[in-house]
Amino acid sequence: MLKKRIIPKFLVRGGRLVKARRFFDDVREAGNPVSTARVYDSYGVDEMIFVDIDATREGRIIDGTIIERVSEEVFMPFAVGGGVTTLRQIEKLLASGADKVSINSAAVDRPDFVTQAASRFGDQCIIVSIDYRELEDGRRQVVSRAGDERTELDAEDFALRMQDAHAGEILLTSIDRDGMMGGYDVDLVERLAPQLDIPLIASSGAGSLKHVQDVLEAGASAATISSMFIFSDHSPIKVRTYLSSNGVHVRSQVGGRS
């Protein structure tokens, strides 16, 4: 049985970490990306994800300088995303030290780009990030460009299409739950996970240890955590200990604070 992963997820703006609600409401500064990565590396987390929230709007990718500095300080794998639209950009980000690259809007615009990226760099390096809104009729509508542009795509169907396009992992993010700390979209995870042969990362909603347990038991391979780490006293050690004691198969604690 594959072990479930705990992944701190941080948003980058202007070289600093920030945290918001529903992507852009109540944006608050959350620290320095390099020093933060160093702390979580010492906790022995499984991975980290950094996403530049302004990159797509500004027509650029996440700052490679940050990636280089993080890669010099940590030993855990980490993924980066924000504004990725070309194979050359992916090559540059991987060369800067990232282990994985997250593709979002470009996957919506050009699904074949995901196939090209997986063929060129290996599907293990390619995450397709799917942002969506929950509609009143229960549908999950895919949105792109940092939540600015609505599409006609259904999140569940699109995730299956991206699996067929050879994405290595799916990162599923509910905009409505982002930063609200009210729980993950367990219903969608329960429906989608059995249909996927690739890892499903659940993002947005962690506010308690039980929330993390619920989404992993629903079928997610990994759960990202952001606000709960930043704004509460819960640490990766507490999360892993709680999950292990409740029968969730997680990696044994490693790192400088074991």
The answer to whether position 252 is within a domain reads no
Residue numbers of the domain that contains 119? 5-245
The pLDDT tens digits for 203-249 are 999 999 999 999 999 999 999 999 999 888 999 999 999 999 999 99
The CATH number of residue 213's host domain is: 3.20.20.70
Count CA atoms within 13 Å of residue 110 on its CB side. 12
Give the integer Cα–Cα distance in Å for 255 and 44: 4
Q: What is the largest CA-CA distance in the chain?
A: 47
Amino acid at 255: G
The answer to whether position 230 is within a domain reads yes
The answer to whether position 73 is within a domain reads yes
Q: Determine whether 34 is exposed, middle or buried from the number of CB atoms within 10 Å of its CB (0-12, 13-18, 19+).
A: middle
How distant, in Å, are the alpha carbons of 213, 214, 242, 243 from that of 247? 9, 12, 9, 6
- Is residue 130 within 8 Å of residue 171, measured between CB atoms? yes
- Does pLDDT of 103 surpass 90? yes
The pLDDT tens digits for 151-167 are 999 999 999 999 999 99
The pLDDT tens digits for 34-43 are 999 999 999 9
The answer to whether position 79 is within a domain reads yes
Of residues 112 and 252, more confidently modeled: 112
User: How many domains, the chain?
Assistant: 1
Q: How many CB atoms lie within 10 A of CB 180?
A: 16
Amino acid at 21: R
The answer to whether position 149 is within a domain reads yes
pTM, rounded to two decimals: 0.94
The answer to whether position 134 is within a domain reads yes
- Is residue 49 within 8 Å of residue 79, measured between CB atoms? yes
The answer to whether position 258 is within a domain reads no
Give the integer Cα–Cα distance in Å for 4 and 46: 9
The answer to whether position 22 is within a domain reads yes
